[in-house]
Structures are given as structure tokens and as C-alpha cells.
Amino acid sequence: MTVLVCRQEAGAVWIEDAEGTMVAPCFFKTAEETEDELQAMGYPRLLTAYPAAQIVAGPGLDPAELGEVFLERPLGRVATEGAAAAGRHA
């Protein structure tokens, strides 16, 4: 399944499927956070949850930024063990 990474001007980030349905809310890793810390808290890295060939950067996003995107909560096929029950930035 190909997913499109979208970002609003206000900063909200999410992925949607080919029909435009939101698949999962996302966020960008900050300079203070490490990938290991985020994964330990149950937030999978987008490029780990989906093959890079199936991810498309939406308008205004540089494909190089996709490496810093994490899924806010595990949904469907992107679920991971030990995932947090609540969203990180909710």
C-alpha cells in the first residue's frame, strides 16, 4: 500500500492512503529525541513501518525529511509491541 505523507501549515503531520483516508497521525523527531528513545516508547519510525518505495512525500515536504517522521500511535499493520496507549502529542 502506498502512503502519502501530508503536512498542514500549522504543523500537523499524517499519512493517508491512495483514497485520501488518514492511516495514522505522525510527528517529526525533535533534536532532543533519539530514535531509540522513541521506539522504546512504542513510536515506530515511518521508514521502518513501511517500505521506502511505498512512501510518497506530499506537497511542501522534502523526501529527505521522511527519515525524521514517526507514527504517533500504532494503527493497523504498523502496530508494535509495547506501544503507548495514548498519542505522544495529543
Give the DSSP per-residue string, 44-81: -BHHHHS-GGGEEE-TT--GGGGGGEEESS--GGG--T
The pLDDT score that the predictor gives to residue 74 is 56
47 burial (CB, 10 Å; 0-12 / 13-18 / 19+) is: middle
Nearest to 43 by CA among 63, 25, 23: 25
pLDDT of residue 1: 84
In the chain, where the domains are located: 3-78
pLDDT tens, position by position, 9-40: 888 999 999 999 999 999 999 999 999 999 89
Mean pLDDT (the chain, rounded): 82
Q: How far is 84 from 46, CA to CA, in rounded Å?
A: 16
pTM of the model: 0.76
